[in-house]
Amino acid sequence: MSRFFSEKYAALTPYTPGEQPQDMQYVKLNTNESPFPPSEKALRAAAELLRPLQLYSDPDCRRVREKLAQRYGVTPDMVLVTNGSDEALNFAFMAFCDSAHGAAFPGISYGFYPVFAQVNGVPYEEIALKPDFSVDADDYCGIGKTVFIANPNAPTGIALPPAQIEKILHSNPDNVVVIDEAYVDFGGESCVPLVHKYENLLVVQTFSKSRSLAGGRLGYAIGNAALIRDLDSLRYSTNPYNVNSATLALGEAILDDEDATRQNCAVIMENRAYTAGALRALGFEVLDSRANFLFARSGQIDGALLYQKLKARGVLVRHFTRPEIAQFNRITVGTRQQMDALLTAIRAILEETK
């Protein structure tokens, strides 16, 4: 830290993204990216749609906003478009939390929530999961804080039904409830239809997972127009050109090819079922995932050791050191070939540690 760094950030622990090692070609199952690139059709269309790069990108993200509105049955003024959904989440912490409105989220969830709270000087409460690793909606009922829930949750993959989320919304009428649906397209149930009923609901989604655009950085939030105006005023106060033109063109083209997105999600869900079955047959406990990853622990080998041994065999998964989940690894669901490579490596590791 330099002597110039503001004291207000002295205690900040930055978010640690999943590793991206360059030393060899890994079977990369550690950051929940899609194994499929955007469709050829979408890539071709994006080239046509690209606004001249000597001009600034559209600060209203009008075309993507309109297409998202149409896709989700809302009006364009109910949609905020952001540089990845991380940016939408950060804006939500900035807009709807302060020292009087602290944040509450599960203790085991997306690791960025406590970082966003810290960087914005927001007090926060981390609420334990149930022993089965699910979120207990009752813990958030009447909590009187701004609630952040990833649904499906990460890294567990477990989803809450929207009826449970409704209990939280209904019992916290004076607080915003942010539902982070980064993984909802892999078999979860979206809360977007509830934005018409609850003025305190903000749903955040991303193009990074089901829509194969992690590198493009495109996210969005859907909520009532007043919430979106609040977020937009922060966007216009920080970076009005937050989404670049190439990404907007890609986003638009990908939204015009929803069949490709649906097909990719179907393949991933099929591969998820296949891999979960194979892991269970090898003695793993595998949580019920509605996301594009599995969270699994072996009774035979320590979680950190399995992670290391997989890495040594060229398979990257994500291990978290938090004691409650240190026996688990989070495994992104990829192609069938990638899943077979993972399973072959795990079988060999289990054999050598017998």
Contacts with ligand PMP, residue ranges (CB under 6 A): 84-86, 110, 150, 154, 180, 182, 206, 208, 214, 219
Instruction: Report the alpha-carbon distance of residue 135 to residue 113 in Å, rounded.
Output: 16
Nearer to ligand PMP, 118 or 298 (CB): 118
Which of these, 266, 290, 287, lies nearest to 276 by C-alpha position?
287
Q: Which residues in 322-333 are b (16+ Cβ under 10 Å) and which e? A: eeebebbbbbbb
Least gap, CB of 116 to ligand PMP (angstroms): 11
Nearer to ligand PMP, 106 or 303 (CB): 106
* Residue of closest CB approach to ligand PMP: 84
Interaxial angle between packed helices 40-49 and 245-255, expressed in degrees from 0 to 180 and rounded to the nearest 10: 130
Least gap, CB of 339 to ligand PMP (angstroms): 20
Least gap, CB of 106 to ligand PMP (angstroms): 11
Least gap, CB of 333 to ligand PMP (angstroms): 14
Nearer to ligand PMP, 85 or 338 (CB): 85
Nearer to ligand PMP, 276 or 291 (CB): 291
One-letter amino acid for residue 76 of the chain: P
Nearer to ligand PMP, 86 or 185 (CB): 86
Least gap, CB of 260 to ligand PMP (angstroms): 19
Least gap, CB of 226 to ligand PMP (angstroms): 23
Nearer to ligand PMP, 145 or 318 (CB): 318
